[in-house]
Structure 1
Amino acid sequence: MEQGTHPIRILIADDHPMMRDGLRSAITLETDMEVVGEAIDGNEAIALFKTFRPDVTLMDLQMPNVDGLQAITAIRQFAPEASIIVFTVYPGDARVTQALTLGATSYLLKSASRQDIIVAIRAAAEGRQIIAKEISADLANHRGTAGLTVRELSVLRLVKSGMSNRAIADSLFVSEDTIKSHMKSILSKLGASDRTHAVTIAVKRGFLDSL
């Protein structure tokens, strides 16, 4: 680190102790970085961000109480200039697009190498975006494809729970023919062969929570 410069101040938000330990160990090896706080859920991430105002936040998506997407939204409302790196095991173009739309700076998978993480932190501190190569490829593959509507997502979540078309129609107070129409649209948009295939694709792409 050059004389007169300050280290990059980093907040880690992840509910897994071993992951936090690993990130902290990797970061502390760098002379131009320091960990200023560690959060175990989204609520704590928001509170610690407001306390420490870190230069970069490493944010897991799946955390108890308040998840990473909710925390990103709250932090960006408080500090629009915040640099937030999503660091997660979950790929999927829909999930990535949502995170970036909410204000995430970069998106890395937890399979990333230590060097990739360090590079992404330095880039985020400089206002540059880093997207994992495999995620960039996934985004490119689905660019221009139609997304699912809010209603279609509601239907697909109920399909995932094991409900029949009739049960879904009763639950949403619509006709069974309406649900069949929604399913036809969902299958077409996802390129799925049947209901089960549609759920599998939707989970993989990040439209739904994990199976």
Structure 2
Amino acid sequence: MTLEIPSRVTVLVRHDEPLLAKGIVAALRAHADFGLIEDAGWVDLAAIDVLVTDWRTGLRLASGGGAGSCAPSPRTRVLIVASQAREHAVDAVLRQGVLGLVLASCPVQELVEAVSALADGRPYVCADVARRMAAHCAGEPLTAREDDVLRLLARGLCNKTIARELGIAVGTVKSHVKAILSKLDASSRTEAASIAAEKGLVDVPEFRSRRASWMPPASEGFLPTRGAVHAMAA
């Protein structure tokens, strides 16, 4: 199939949520600088400036693989539009090479700005996600052992059981729990588990449903430098 490229910036919209895809196309079609291609079968991405897509497709392309009827191309910049996005997964996708991410709830003008930025070779993360990422990177990271304790704590295990699972003293577990609460700015074990689920540090559906307002699949990931995240949040 031969595609006619109508404008300066060619944009392919290929999203796994059909209704959201239609909305994206409608939002971008009014912009005179964009030539919209709406999921038109096999597409050579060498002819595409910006691909607006979902998490799985964007990550597959960023890692150098094909995405259904798309041929991978280093020329194409990937913009992910997601209903939800957890910090850990956003870290991961940016590290893989995806240049842009906006939430489906963002204003139309922000979507337009994101596409324009990517077309110019500049990264774009929507303001809400950038603020969360800046706060995430600014915080003191958990140690490997604290991470182990947090995962067990999030499963509802008591200190004695955690100590037995990890082969450490109960007093050591208590010290790790205290450090975890401090680093996550949590007032209780339950809140720490909830915050950890929101950030993508653990996978606990019951906590995630209470607090998280954004989250892609846990298997998907990659990260920017801290300086890049702070620049995006500025």
2:153 is aligned with 1:159: yes
**Which runs of structure 2 are paired with 1:20-169 in the superposition (5 Å)?**
20-31=21-32, 32-37=34-39, 52-53=45-46, 54-61=48-55, 67=56, 70-71=59-60, 73-75=62-64, 79=73, 82-91=76-85, 93-169=87-163
Residues 36 and 21 (structure 1), Cα distance of their counterparts in 2 relative to 1, 3 Å cut: closer
CA distance in 1, matches of 2:130, 2:102: 10
The one-character-per-residue Cα deviations of 1:124-160 (angstroms, maximum 9, x if unpaired) are: 1210122222233333444432223455444433333
Q: What is residue 15 of structure 2 aligned with on the other side?
A: 13
The one-character-per-residue Cα deviations of 1:71-102 (angstroms, maximum 9, x if unpaired) are: 36524896555422232233554443333222
2:204 is aligned with 1:203: no
- What 5-or-longer segments of structure 1 have no aligned partner? 40-47, 62-66
Aligned equivalent of 1:175, options 156, 168, 178 = 168
Question: What is the TM-score normalised by the length of structure 1?
Answer: 0.69
Say if 2:163 and 2:169, in contact at 8 Å, map to a contact too. Answer: yes
The one-character-per-residue Cα deviations of 1:170-191 (angstroms, maximum 9, x if unpaired) are: 55x4235354443233212111
Q: AA paired with 2:201? A: F
Runs of 4+ aligned residues of structure 1 deviating over 6 Å after TM superposition are: none
CA distance in 2, matches of 1:202, 1:69: 25
Percent identity between the two aligned chains: 27
For CA contacts below 8 A with separation 6 or more, give which structure has more relative contact order. Answer: 2
Question: The residue matched to 1:188 in structure 2 has which SS?
Answer: helix
How many residues are paired up?
193
CA distance in 1, matches of 2:146, 2:58: 21
Question: The residue matched to 1:87 in structure 2 has which SS?
Answer: strand
Residues 198 and 108 (structure 1), Cα distance of their counterparts in 2 relative to 1, 3 Å cut: same
Q: AA paired with 2:63? A: A
Residues 103 and 165 (structure 1), Cα distance of their counterparts in 2 relative to 1, 3 Å cut: farther
The one-character-per-residue Cα deviations of 1:27-67 (angstroms, maximum 9, x if unpaired) are: 3444522235389xxxxxxxx78x54542233434xxxxx4
Say if 1:69 and 1:102, in contact at 8 Å, map to a contact too. Answer: no
- Aligned alpha-carbon RMSD (Å): 3.6
Shift of 1:117: 0.9
Q: AA paired with 2:108? A: R
Q: What is residue 185 of structure 1 aligned with on the other side?
A: 179
